Amino acid sequence: MTDAAQQPIGVFDSGIGGLSVLQALRAELPHERFVYLADSGHAPYGERGDAYVAARTHAISDYLCTQHHIKALVVACNTATAAAIHEARLRHPLLPLVGVEPALKPAVAATRTGHVGVIGTRGTLGSAKFARLLASLQGQARFTIQPCDGLAHAIERSTAHPPAGPQDATEIRALCARYTGAMGVFGTQAGAIDTLVLGCTHYVFAQDILRDLLGPDVTLIATGEPVARQTRRLLQAAGTLAPQCTGSAPADGSIRLLTTGALAPLQNAVSRWLQLPASCCATVAL
């Protein structure tokens, strides 16, 4: 075992959406340490320009490397992946780096009607990276693409106070209904959309609402589990997987959660979705 095996894995997102990826990482790699950074003070990324998102990505990756000595970095944000992951790899050539992208390939494998819906931020769905991914699957399925302006931000705002109030749920439901309604017919009948790709990490936290709106026959596909498996593969290849301790997984002290914004929303989110105590969270000026 190398010293690097003891170092944490860095994870960041524009806000709390990447907690859905962190959730999958902790399930796949229960013996690892993590440091998560929510850039909530500069969110939302999905409606920003590429240059702005790239600048934030580089500032955060530099910070996590220099201050937390991370052994790998997971960019748990579709928009940041699309805008900046290539430059981040050039900037940190020795750092195992995993990005996220809308899970179109798994959706093609899952669809039975041949019609896949994709929801995401305008920044992700309008990116050259997404265009290349979509082009690579030309002819394998029909894709209906829907930008969801405001949805990630509404999910983010729902963590401002515990628990999520009726007004929060109503706003999120109204946005989900508006955007899925604009996409066409969902279901298993011929020509209908039977598979929906959640192309933003925030949207995982609205999946119960989406299931209620679309019905039980529509498959929802997110990216957390494939990202977690890829992270494991890269750490194995680098020889830096943490040793598997006998007994239980590490205590809550093995995870640090930081935010550039207000502290309470992150505390509320990790309590609601990760069942972690508020003491895991802190603010950082970055």
pLDDT band, residue 160 (cuts 50/70/90): confident
What pLDDT is attached to residue 3?
A: 81
pLDDT band, residue 4 (cuts 50/70/90): confident
Structure tokens at 67: 């201050």
Domain shared by 72 and 110, yes or no: no
**221, 237, 264 - which closes a domain:** 221
Domain shared by 95 and 234, yes or no: yes
Which among 224, 280, 229, 262 is positioned nearest to 19, based on CA atoms?
Answer: 224
Domain shared by 9 and 112, yes or no: no
Q: In what order do the strands lie in the sheet with 281-283?
A: 97-99, 72-75, 9-13, 34-38, 255-259, 281-283
Number of domains in the chain: 2
- Name the least confident of 36-50, 95-109, 130-144, 156-170: 156-170
- Give 42-65 pLDDT, tens digit per residue: 988 877 888 999 999 999 999 999
Instruction: Point out the catalytic residue in the list 77, 148, 176, 280.
Output: 77
> Which residue do the tokens 């929060």 mark?
168
Euclidean distance between the first and final Cα of the chain, in Å?
Answer: 33
Domain shared by 161 and 249, yes or no: no
Class of residue 23 by CB neighbours under 10 A (exposed 0-12, middle 13-18, buried 19+): middle
DSSP 15: S
Domain shared by 228 and 87, yes or no: yes
Is 245 one of the annotated active-site residues of the chain? no
Instruction: Point out the catalytic residue in the list 148, 200, 280, 281.
Output: 200
Residue 247's domain is classified under what CATH number? 3.40.50.1860
Domain shared by 111 and 214, yes or no: yes
pLDDT at 32 over 50: yes
- Name the least confident of 26-30, 80-84, 156-160, 203-207: 156-160
What pLDDT is attached to residue 246?
A: 46
Range of the domain at 150: 104-221
- Give 73-132 pLDDT, tens digit per residue: 999 998 899 899 999 999 999 999 999 999 999 999 999 999 999 999 998 899 899 999
Domain shared by 250 and 216, yes or no: no
Domain shared by 26 and 83, yes or no: yes
**201, 221, 241 - which closes a domain:** 221
- Name the least confident of 81-95, 161-175, 266-280: 161-175
**221, 253, 270 - which closes a domain:** 221
Is 281 one of the annotated active-site residues of the chain? no
Which among 66, 4, 3, 75 is positioned nearest to 36, based on CA atoms?
Answer: 75
**What mean pLDDT is predicted for residues 218-226?**
94
Domain shared by 212 and 240, yes or no: no
Do 74 and 183 contact (CB within 8 A), yes or no? no
Domain shared by 140 and 215, yes or no: yes
Domain shared by 93 and 167, yes or no: no
Domain shared by 96 and 7, yes or no: yes
